[in-house]
């Protein structure tokens, strides 16, 4: 790997993402053997510098493990009556897991989830092995699913939006000297009608001018008392966590951007900030949200950066 090889780092990030998904799925008792096989091929391909194959197999691994989790969820609920026996709180969690609206009466939540499960079941049935034709072996279910996701991509690596490479439920550490790429990704998410919250050291009026991010989609992280329509928050970890948790509870899915980690570190001890981030990562992992945390690698010690990279998947953008 050459220094500053951004493509290599991005591919490695996708592979790490797949590995984390597999570990989490295993803990939930999900069958991940096919996903693990795909991921093993991705690692080998990257080792021999076949980057195209590494990207292809890592995407297959991610798709397979996500689909396997959905399959297991669907099989655990055999009828609408099974759903009706669950509490409203349990139904809200299921809605959030599927990326569905979690607000409504209990019967509405039951209907919403059951309809979604029926849709998933239909898609799985279409991907089942078909009878052999002219002596050909029938396609395996996993292969069929992989082909489905490839067709859905319809683009090569260099043309795929980086937003499409982000997986709901995962958290990313966006490493760049100045926060720019992180807000471009956020702008893309908003353009796709995703709900968003950006907590930033940058004045919301500047974000609006540079990236078209409205005041309602951003909160100013500052120690000053702000008057007027601009929303602001102090660099107090407890306040930040409560604001983010309230946003997550009121929305089914979306993106959260945290820019100003260096500022938080000047107002709090590193271990406190690390605990805060770990709790935030855990909270996001149970939802359909994407968390992006901005950091300038030059602003902190390498040992601290390494600790952050253990909990958040690195996305490196060297200048």
Q: Residue 226 belongs to a domain with what CATH number?
A: 3.40.50.300
Is residue 44 domain-shared with residue 143, that is, in the same domain?
yes
pLDDT in tens, 110-124: 888 888 777 755 544
Query: Is 316 strand, coil or helix?
Result: strand
Please check whether residues 285 and 244 belong to one and the same domain.
yes
1 in a structural domain? no
* Contacts of residue 309, Cβ cutoff 8 Å, sequence gap at least 6: 173
pLDDT-derived band at 9, boundaries 50, 70, 90: confident
Please give the tally of structural domains in the chain.
2
Separation of alpha carbons 133 and 178, rounded Å = 56
Assign 195 to helix, strand or coil.
Answer: strand
For the stretch 94-107, pLDDT in tens is 777 666 788 889 99
User: How far is the first Cα of the chain from the last one, in angstroms, to the nearest whole number?
Assistant: 17
In angstroms, the CA 39 to CA 51 distance is: 13
Does some domain include residue 91?
yes
Domain that holds residue 48: 6-161
Considering just the CA atoms, what is the radius of gyration of the chain in Å?
A: 21
Q: Let me know whether 86 and 96 are in one domain.
A: yes
- Any idea what DSSP says for residue 105? -
pLDDT digits (tens, 9 = 90+) for 119-178: 755 544 444 433 433 444 444 444 444 344 334 333 323 323 577 778 888 999 999 888
Instruction: Look at residue 154 and tell me if it is in a domain.
Output: yes
pTM listed for this prediction: 0.53
23 and 131 both lie in a single domain: yes
Residue ending a domain, among 128, 161, 194, is 161
Q: In sequence order, which residues have a C-beta less than 8 Å from that of residue 80 and are 6 or more positions away?
A: 110, 114
Per-residue burial over 145-177, b = 16 or more CB atoms within 10 Å of its CB, e = otherwise: bbeeeeeeeeeebeeeeebebbbbbbbbbbbbe
Task: For residues 308 and 172, state if they share a domain.
Answer: yes
């Amino acid at each position: 790997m050459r220094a500053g090889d951004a493509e290599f780092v991005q591919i490695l990030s996708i592979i790490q993402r797949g590995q984390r998904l597999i570990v989490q799925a295993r803990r939930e008792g999900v069958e991940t053997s096919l996903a693990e096989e795909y991921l093993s091929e991705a690692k080998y391909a990257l080792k021999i510098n076949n980057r195209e194959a590494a990207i292809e197999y890592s995407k297959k691994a991610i798709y397979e493990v996500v689909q396997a989790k959905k399959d297991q969820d669907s099989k655990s609920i055999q009828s609408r009556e099974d759903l009706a026996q669950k509490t409203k709180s349990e139904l809200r969690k299921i809605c959030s897991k599927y990326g569905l609206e979690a607000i409504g009466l209990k019967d509405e939540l039951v209907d919403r989830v059951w309809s979604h499960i029926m849709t998933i079941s239909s898609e799985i049935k279409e991907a089942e092995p078909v009878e052999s034709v002219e002596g050909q072996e029938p396609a395996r279910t996993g292969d069929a699913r992989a082909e489905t996701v490839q067709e859905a991509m319809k683009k090569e690596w260099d043309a795929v939006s980086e937003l499409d490479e982000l997986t709901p439920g995962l958290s990313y550490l966006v490493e760049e000297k100045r926060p720019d790429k992180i807000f471009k990704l956020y702008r893309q998410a908003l353009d796709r009608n995703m709900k968003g919250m950006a907590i930033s050291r940058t004045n919301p009026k500047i974000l609006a001018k540079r990236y078209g991010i409205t005041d309602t989609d951003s909160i100013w992280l500052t120690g000053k008392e702000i008057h007027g329509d601009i929303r602001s928050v102090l660099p107090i970890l407890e306040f930040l966590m409560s604001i983010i948790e309230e946003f997550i509870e009121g929305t089914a899915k979306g993106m959260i951007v945290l820019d100003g980690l260096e500022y938080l570190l000047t107002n709090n001890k590193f271990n406190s900030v690390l605990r805060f981030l770990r709790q935030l990562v855990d909270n996001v992992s149970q939802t359909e949200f994407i968390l992006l945390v901005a950091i300038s690698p030059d602003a902190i010690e390498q040992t601290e950066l390494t600790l952050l990279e253990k909990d958040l998947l690195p996305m490196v953008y060297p200048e």
